[in-house]
A = this chain, B = another copy of it.
């Protein structure tokens, strides 16, 4: 009986991945529910414990209870551990253990790793995982140290080190959790260039994906980037700069956001809020005070999200690039989709459409349902659902007011978003089979 289940789970790497995530969330829920995890006087319900565990494991950062004031250092440690495991991918962590135990990594485990890191080929996957851990820990250590140095100006060294560690790991993993209390995120540092620039660099490094990071590290020697890295880097640059310009344009006259700041701080805040939706979830301003146009812009930045194989969510920068190029190709009457002098395979285009449309459909349906269960404006609901599904973690304030069914739906969206819609499809669906015959081509009128 149990063996049958084990076989069913093991038969499909995507299935193992999805179930692994679910198990980690379950363990996290139990740990957060321990009396030692919450401060005295705080009564954490099972639902809120599960919500917090899911949000941390899916590196989303939507919070129903304030991380800084409701949890003890133990509880905060659990959250940080879930972020680290969820961010790096539980299989990556699992492999490290296997390495340390000098056990051979099996083919099945390699297949799961491949799914987890979204890598096209099996070759070198273990080498990549070792690099992932090395780079991630190096960047996190450097980030934590730099944060700690800055925080020492405001608090005692011990607390500054702990805060540095928490925010270094949380920001690099695009997790969106913070310890500053009262759901304020990094508001206290809105005019601080050091904290802003450090956060922006950590967020971008975390959201590029490990393949791109490895490519960048090798660049001084190899003097070339892979096609994938070129696309991810150029889209990141384009979206970051384009988003910042639009935010600046929409908000510089808004007295509740950028208005009162100096030009330098305005540019800094615009840049942070352009980077953060894809999909870090930190903020230095009150998002509910942004203009509707800016909020709508953030929704689309969240929807596009980070690059594949990273800690971030969304449909991914490369998907967005393929779709844009497909549109341009049709408009220019070309039948090939060309990117950096390479032709794209047809099945990549179909995959890009599938990811995008499925994501869009899911956001639409869940927004519709939450519009009924929650008594909030449409913008707040759409923003929250998109944020959950893209594991972005930004909120216009709906999270804490969510009804019971609302919390469960938002949890489900974080889970779907982190596991990835395609992975989930393959996890649930039947094995792809070859059709026995092909149908004749038919004509249909479009548009």
Contact = CB atoms under 8 A, between A and B. Distances in A.
Interface of A: 118-120, 209, 211, 227-228, 231, 250, 291-293, 295-297, 300, 308-309, 315-316, 318-319, 321-324, 326-327, 329-336, 338-355, 357-358, 364, 367-369, 371-372, 377-379, 381, 420-422, 425, 429-433, 435, 438-447
Given A296-B367, A316-B445, A323-B353, 15 more contacts: A228-B443, A293-B371, A296-B371, A318-B446, A324-B357, A327-B354, A331-B358, A332-B432, A334-B435, A339-B442, A342-B442, A344-B442, A348-B446, A355-B446, A420-B447
Contacts of A344: 441-442, 444
25 contacts: A209-B445, A211-B445, A231-B444, A291-B372, A293-B369, A293-B371, A300-B364, A308-B445, A316-B446, A316-B447, A318-B444, A319-B447, A326-B354, A326-B357, A327-B354, A327-B357, A327-B358, A331-B358, A332-B430, A336-B435, A336-B438, A343-B442, A351-B446, A378-B378, A420-B447
Given A371-B296, A378-B377, A308 B446 contact: yes
A227 B326 contact: no
Contacts of A318: 444-446
Nearest to A345: B441
Given A350-B329, A378-B296, A442-B344, A447 B315 contact: yes
A425 B331 contact: yes
Contacts of A293: 368-369, 371-372
A65 to B, nearest CB: 27
Most buried by B among A292, A297, A354, A367: A292
A106 to B, nearest CB: 24
Contacts of A346: 346
Given A315-B447, A372-B250, A439 B336 contact: yes
A411 B443 CA distance: 33
A406 to B, nearest CB: 13
Contacts of A350: 326, 329-330, 335, 349
A333 B432 contact: yes
A390 B409 CA distance: 31
B351 A308 contact: no
A444 B333 contact: no
Most buried by B among A296, A336, A351: A296
B341 A439 contact: yes
Contacts of A316: 445-447
B330 A351 contact: yes
Contacts of A347: 330, 335
A429 B332 contact: yes
A353 B333 CA distance: 14
B444 A357 contact: no
A319 B353 CA distance: 13
Given A295-B378, A350-B329, A439-B342, A447 B421 contact: yes
